[in-house]
């Protein structure tokens, strides 16, 4: 049996939109939850989650 895991691919302008007002489409609630869960898991999408995503 094989198990393949992958991370969601999200454009950098969308990832940074809440912090830099890039004009990109905002992240969906599901994307924010995903990023937080695999980031600092503090219940909200923040720069710590962005940093964790970019370090992968």
| Residue 47 contacts residue 19 (beta carbons within 8 Å) | yes
pLDDT at 5 (0 to 100): 63
- For 1-56, the pLDDT digits (tens) are 766 666 779 999 999 999 998 899 999 999 999 999 999 999 999 999 999 999 98
In the numeric block, which tokens belong to residue 33?
A: 């939850």
**Which value, to the nearest 10 degrees, does the dihedral of the CA atoms of residues 17, 21, 25, 27 take?**
30
């Amino acid at each position: 049996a094989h198990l393949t895991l992958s991370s969601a691919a999200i454009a950098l302008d969308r990832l940074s939109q809440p912090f830099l007002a890039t004009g990109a489409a905002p992240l969906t609630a599901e994307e924010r939850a995903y990023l937080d869960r695999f980031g600092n898991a503090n219940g909200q999408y923040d720069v710590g989650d962005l940093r964790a995503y970019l370090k992968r």
